[in-house]
Amino acid sequence: MGPDVFPVEPWRVRETRLDLDLIDESESLFALSNGHIGLRGNLDEGEPHGLPGTYLGSFFETRPLPYAEAGYGYPEEGQSIVDVTNGKIIRLYVDDEPLDVRYGELLAHERVLDLRAGSLARRLRWRSPAGGLVEVESTRLVSFTHRSVAAIEYVVTAVDAPLRITVQSELVANEDLPDQSDDPRSAAPLSGVLEGLHHEHGDGTALLVHRTRRSGLMMAAGMAHELELPSGRALETDSAADWARTTVTCELQPGQRLRLVKYLAYGWSSVRSRPALRDQVHAALTSARHTGWAGLVADQRGYLDDFWDGADVEVEGDPDLQQAVRFGMFHVVQASARAQRRAIAAKGLTGPGYDGHAFWDTEMFVLPVLTYTLPHAAADALRWRASTLDLARDRARQLDLAGATFPWRTIRGQECSAYWPAGTAGFHVNADIAAAFERYRLVTGDDTLERECGLEVLVETARLWASLGHHDRHGTWHIDGVTGPDEYTAVVNDNLFTNVMAAHNLESAAAACERHPEAARGLGVTTEETAAWRDAAAAVHIPYDDELGVHEQCEGFTRLREWDFTGNTDYPLLLHEPYVRLYPAQVIKQADLVLAMQVRGHLFTPEQKARNVDYYERRTVRDSSLSACSQAVMCARVGHLDLAHSYAYEAAMVDLRNLHGNTKDGLHMASLAGTWTALVQGFGGLHDDEGVLAIDPVLPGPIGRLTFRLRWREFRLTVTVTHEQVTFTVRDGPDGTLTIRHAGEDIEVGTGAPTVVDLAPRRPLSPGIPDQPPDCCPDPRTQTATGP
Amino acid sequence: MGPDVFPVEPWRVRETRLDLDLIDESESLFALSNGHIGLRGNLDEGEPHGLPGTYLGSFFETRPLPYAEAGYGYPEEGQSIVDVTNGKIIRLYVDDEPLDVRYGELLAHERVLDLRAGSLARRLRWRSPAGGLVEVESTRLVSFTHRSVAAIEYVVTAVDAPLRITVQSELVANEDLPDQSDDPRSAAPLSGVLEGLHHEHGDGTALLVHRTRRSGLMMAAGMAHELELPSGRALETDSAADWARTTVTCELQPGQRLRLVKYLAYGWSSVRSRPALRDQVHAALTSARHTGWAGLVADQRGYLDDFWDGADVEVEGDPDLQQAVRFGMFHVVQASARAQRRAIAAKGLTGPGYDGHAFWDTEMFVLPVLTYTLPHAAADALRWRASTLDLARDRARQLDLAGATFPWRTIRGQECSAYWPAGTAGFHVNADIAAAFERYRLVTGDDTLERECGLEVLVETARLWASLGHHDRHGTWHIDGVTGPDEYTAVVNDNLFTNVMAAHNLESAAAACERHPEAARGLGVTTEETAAWRDAAAAVHIPYDDELGVHEQCEGFTRLREWDFTGNTDYPLLLHEPYVRLYPAQVIKQADLVLAMQVRGHLFTPEQKARNVDYYERRTVRDSSLSACSQAVMCARVGHLDLAHSYAYEAAMVDLRNLHGNTKDGLHMASLAGTWTALVQGFGGLHDDEGVLAIDPVLPGPIGRLTFRLRWREFRLTVTVTHEQVTFTVRDGPDGTLTIRHAGEDIEVGTGAPTVVDLAPRRPLSPGIPDQPPDCCPDPRTQTATGP
């Protein structure tokens, strides 16, 4: 997947020709979503396809989880995202020959994902096997402003001869899905899960209602059409349990065109009745038709204009990164904008990878971006977590723990991880969630979310840690038998990341109880309890190797066997090496200690950071897409700017260049968000772990200027960084000034004139550039490789 | 299950009445086997039953192992022992009413397992619902001398009125099996796995041939009959794919009897043809008939007389233990005598528990007993292990390890453990196997087994350890990420048991290569390699807590959270607590460090042993049947004699009193062997870890005299211990004397007069008696509780 097919452009992702070998990947890249409806970028005519995909946020089927050797507390039921009724399909017949790009002659084919318009446009020119030449232009959008609505404009033009044209616009449920691979990161196959409950059709309209067989969730999909024909009108609609079809037939003279606008509406519920759902979809269709295609298009652009105005990142000197950071943010917005108290999945709604589950990625990688750029979406995602608190309490009780234990992977809120060492043992997800609540409060300055639900989450997660950890006979507080972010070293004692995040969780909870004493009392919190939390946090063990002068990822980590990189470098290692070999070796899947330094940086001296980066760089293979962005941030912070740039590029290209080989299963939301993180937290130096807005920028050579926008409290701030200076522009906000900690010193900036600060030259904090394991060196990015 | 139903007798296990609530357990207790054929103690008439069971050693079906989240190197296929064609069934009709103990009136019912005769006798008196009174006597044996043969003598007597008697003697394949529980320790249900290939019948004879559907193993079962009737003869035989039946009908006058002898023969093969198997079974039947019932009975007793002559243990003062040790040894002999290069399963051939798999139990718990008492059976079991060496090499290669990795659980040799933290990570099985080879050589003085296959096993397991362990930067050698015997603390670094066993493995392998330089060269061993083995063994890390003055079960163990015994004492804990909670706590399922002290005792000072026993006693819950015997040994060695006695009793009663509640799934071979271990290694003080025969006896108060017999090199030795002295009697052997290390001093004993040594009084090495966790104190055995 190179720039020959996907050229680098600042505001678009354009596919210049149709390469069927890349069809799976392009379906993910070109997926449209608003967080509620997700449409993979399948061709209008339905096939060829890599994987058909139409998803509704958190609409899942359950399945029994099998265990050859079961154990107490193993989840018995999994949840998998369902490929719901496909409304994207518009089939075209040219003189009775079906448009299929595998037959006839495809003279031109271009698709454009427009990051400002929020739409996917396609333009093709095709000669049928019998010689009929047509041009087809289609534009597809999933509306940010009409949550239940997607729409497609489909235009067929006869080019050089009269043609008989037939168009079938369809709804199809229970599509056949191709078999998935054995890769544990892809989805469990689920097909035929929808039971048809109701179908109806009218004049160019149709509606299907289905229910999942096991989970019992009901969904409805409806379509309506607007038609422009040179003359006449031959429209026919029919429906059955699993399909509905509107057929249009006409004759087009050369230059004449048929234009069809297809409105799609979706709804689902676990509690509402069949008529209620049916009517809800009907209402959405009516509203969409009333707004009209042009209105939907305008609304879509308006929504995104507003977003970009407050969130855009401009990168001068690296057009690839420029494109990628916008592509990433666009998909993050797509995954979250209208998710509205549903989980933001690791793949958003772009594919079935990881069964459509949400992980800690959401709170740790996606929400930081949203908190600074689209805070209402962050709040909604946190409200979803809070809504699962009772399930998390049940799980904690099952595990003989106090408080609440949020699931490692889930759609609805129940633990769905069938492998506890890399699931249940990943307790840090609880601290990650707590930190996301705390960050939201800190960045937005808004404590309504904390009052509404955040306090309770903080308290229950603090209780979890208090029951999970313990003091040793010398009074040091430990958390044992847990798995940190790095899944190649699992079930360890005193994972540093987990320990510092747990301590932060405990401190945040104690402080929140202090802020809301009455509510805290209502939760049964006593001052003894908060004192115990603070004491544990203060006594937390921070593993450190005195001899080597580096922190340990976990107790004893630096004493473990070194990985034999002479012989075992088939990446990802997890597909070629057993856990029993990976776990006790100093080989690291993804940033773990490095992530701890990113998010809790003030706990480390600059020299410690530099030594730690050096040590862990040599042992990190980046078999996870959650790693490069953190390595970018920390390499930037310790002054390895070229390396940081390379990592930023790698994070940015995970999907645009399919670096992990599984973009076909859906996009990597965390890494897409991570491009922003690499640029804004890395080169922009943004961090908030000291409770203040801190910005400490530095640019790598090729990037001449970096501009980013963010929200802090009621302010909107633009930060422009060059090699020489940083300019803070407060665009709007309340009267008074905003304090920014720049390079360790607090400065006051106001809504008046921009504040310009000169940058001191930055030198690497350690001699030499860290090495990576063999074949793990990121592609060097010392100069920009592509672009205009 | 108390002495009311199963009274304590020295040479028998007798059931005084039929308690249908105990029928599952009695089927296991009364199972007969020679290591090749296993018959559960089902009633002759087939039902009622707990679980019908007829097994052939290592005859298994495969099944796919499901994983909700798969991982590299997970075994894809499991193996399960198969309930094969049941030849035990003899149904009786009294005036057309079936003998069924649930109906009519059971006036008397007694079963006797005779440990010297090697048979199960049953005697019942039953009045049919219509009033017909019969007496039935049956005797069943599985021949030690005719490996393929079992036989039943069945006698019906009309008591007080003329009766029409019909007897059906059957072969039944694919019996319906009751559903098993969710307990992971029971078997995966498998039924209907036998495909009928051939059936034939003649005059009172029949033969069925079947093949397993997936594993493709072929088996044949045949029967033949001898009949004694007061007059006449009405015998009819028929057969079909899944059954064969010989029916006899006659009239009996009061006092007259019908006597039927049923000869059964079994054979199976993975390679031999259908005719070959058929003929093999036919030949076995012919041979059995030629020997005749009386001959089989006499041969059986002869075999056992010889065994007991060289192996019996006499316990004066505790009749329960007296019975139990013989019961245990009898079943150990049954499991192994004619296994002949097939696995000795954890349950022998007494039930389907653990799927019929063999574990490390065999080498670590069962073979020590056999090595001292029935060495040819130990050698055969080791030959089986060696025969799987190629599979173990394949497994090592798959795991990116050198040498060979033997499976955690298996029937044929492939790894069948679906949970790697308590399977593959239990690498110590390899050292346990190596130690069993080494012990065999040491005790028997016979190095033919080493030449034949032991050397190769030692070399390949040494290579495994060399690739699994590593030196830290200070030169200490570590083995990380493994699971020791204690399955409540898994995937740890430097498990002490594993480390000392691995070091022993490395040393043994190096020494063996020195003994067989040419063969070692043939295996590619260089002096560099053996030097590296010795170096690693010498540098092995022995975790020790200086502050507490105790050894650590694994690195950091004594720093872990203490288990909360105030709230979590639902035993076994594994059914009520998740691994994620158990693993990082100081709660121990079974002897681990204590087992290390038992088998490598010379590495610890007496004071260390005493402190370690004290520390680990308080944290061991004995949720495994592999624990009590080791605790008995170590408590005896550090002078807690009453406690040792209690543990010995517990080990002895695991099945006789169904202490773990799962005797119905089959007997616990390791614990049955462990009774001998507790008495002979514990009170007898037998140990061989210094490479010499060492005996250092001490008796608890209630046991007045303990006599045990064992073989050492060419000698047969009888040791008689009283509270005052120990008497060594060398019964036979070569000229010259035998050196025995008694209480640390070498003494010479000869075949002449017995050598009598006075015993010094022994005091506990630590003050006070160690505590156990709540509800884990073994039943006190300060005085004998039952007996005649």
Question: Cβ of A579 under 8 Å from any chain B Cβ?
Answer: yes
Catalytic residue from among A175, A487, A507, A529:
A487
Tokens 């002490």 correspond to: B496
Which residues are CB-contacts of B287 (< 8 A; sequence separation ≥ 6)?
B146, B149
Cα separation of B274 and B282, whole Å?
12
pLDDT digits (tens, 9 = 90+) for A512-570: 999 999 999 999 999 999 999 999 999 999 999 999 999 999 999 999 999 999 887 89
Strand locations in B425-519, DSSP E? 470-471, 477-478
Q: In angstroms, what is the C-alpha Rg of chain A?
A: 27
Chain A residue at shortest CA distance from B425: A580
> In this complex, do A69 and B417 lie within 8 Å of one another by their Cβ atoms?
yes
Residues A195-211 have a mean pLDDT of: 97
| Min Cα separation B458/chain A (Å) | 22
Between A223-232, A342-351, B407-416, the lowest mean confidence (pLDDT) is in A223-232
> In this complex, do A581 and B401 lie within 8 Å of one another by their Cβ atoms?
yes
Q: What is the per-residue pLDDT for B522?
A: 98
CA distances from A642 to A141, A618, A649, A742, A762 (A): 38, 16, 11, 22, 13
> In this complex, do A560 and B584 lie within 8 Å of one another by their Cβ atoms?
no
pLDDT digits (tens, 9 = 90+) for B597-646: 999 999 999 999 999 999 999 999 999 999 999 999 999 999 999 999 99
Q: What is the per-residue pLDDT for B1?
A: 80
pTM of the model as a whole: 0.94
Chain B environment of A547 (Cβ under 8 Å) = 473
Q: What is the per-residue pLDDT for A788?
A: 38
Chain A environment of B561 (Cβ under 8 Å) = 470, 478, 480
The amino acid sitting at B702 is P
pLDDT digits (tens, 9 = 90+) for B537-582: 999 999 999 999 999 999 999 999 999 998 888 999 999 999 999 9
pLDDT digits (tens, 9 = 90+) for A600-635: 999 999 999 999 999 999 999 999 999 999 999 999
Q: Over 80: is that where the pLDDT of B783 sits?
A: no
CB A249 within 8 A of CB A113: no
Greater pLDDT, B737 or A140:
A140
| Min Cα separation A601/chain B (Å) | 28
Q: Does the CA dihedral A643-A647-A653-A658 come out positive or negative?
A: positive
Question: Cβ of A557 under 8 Å from any chain B Cβ?
Answer: no
pLDDT digits (tens, 9 = 90+) for B361-407: 999 999 999 999 999 999 999 999 999 999 999 999 999 999 999 99
Tell me the pLDDT of chain B averaged across its residues.
95
Look at residues A101, A168, A154, A158 and name the one whose alpha carbon lies nearest to residue A132: A158
Q: What is the per-residue pLDDT for B729?
A: 96
Q: Three-state DSSP class for A747?
A: strand
CB nearest to A68's CB, from B67, B491, B578: B67
Q: What is the per-residue pLDDT for B188?
A: 60
CB nearest to B400's CB, from A472, A577, A584: A577
Q: What is the per-residue pLDDT for B788?
A: 38
Chain B residue at shortest CA distance from A417: B69
Chain B environment of A568 (Cβ under 8 Å) = 400
> In this complex, do B556 and A560 lie within 8 Å of one another by their Cβ atoms?
no
Residues B650-655 have a mean pLDDT of: 96
DSSP designation for A419: -
| Min Cα separation A624/chain B (Å) | 16
Q: Over 90: is that where the pLDDT of A762 sits?
A: no
Q: Over 60: is that where the pLDDT of B257 sits?
A: yes
Look at residues A170, A177, A137, A221 and name the one whose alpha carbon lies nearest to residue A49: A177
User: What's the ipTM?
Assistant: 0.92
* Structure tokens belonging to residue A755: 């504040």
Cα separation of A480 and A502, whole Å?
12
CA distances from A666 to A347, A393, A529, B268 (A): 5, 31, 44, 52
Helix (H) or strand (E) holding B257: strand B257-269
Cα separation of A722 and B246, whole Å?
99
Q: Which positions of B are catalytic?
A: 487
Chain A residue at shortest CA distance from B583: A481
Question: Cβ of B405 under 8 Å from any chain A Cβ?
Answer: no
Q: Three-state DSSP class for A562?
A: strand
CB A453 within 8 A of CB A523: no
Q: What is the per-residue pLDDT for B192?
A: 83
CB B9 within 8 A of CB B322: no
Chain B environment of A73 (Cβ under 8 Å) = 577-580
Q: What is the per-residue pLDDT for B184?
A: 58
Burial of B774 (0-12, 13-18, 19+ CB in 10 A): exposed
CB nearest to A583's CB, from B67, B73, B481: B481
Q: What is the per-residue pLDDT for A567?
A: 82
Chain A environment of B579 (Cβ under 8 Å) = 71-73, 420
Q: Over 60: is that where the pLDDT of A786 sits?
A: no
Chain A environment of B423 (Cβ under 8 Å) = 69
Q: What is the per-residue pLDDT for B782?
A: 60
Look at residues A661, A723, A1 and name the one whose alpha carbon lies nearest to residue A320: A1
Q: Which of B65, B72, B186 best probes binding to A when mutated, by most A CB atoms within 10 angstroms?
A: B72
> In this complex, do B577 and A400 lie within 8 Å of one another by their Cβ atoms?
yes
Between A124-133, A254-263, A774-783, B415-424, the lowest mean confidence (pLDDT) is in A774-783
In chain B, the percentage of residues whose pLDDT exceeds 70 is: 98
| Min Cα separation B50/chain A (Å) | 24
Q: What is the per-residue pLDDT for A190?
A: 66
> In this complex, do B578 and A65 lie within 8 Å of one another by their Cβ atoms?
no
Q: Over 70: is that where the pLDDT of A283 sits?
A: yes
Look at residues B30, B49, B48 and name the one whose alpha carbon lies nearest to residue B40: B30
Q: What is the per-residue pLDDT for A514?
A: 98
Q: Over 60: is that where the pLDDT of B187 sits?
A: no
Q: What is the per-residue pLDDT for B786?
A: 46
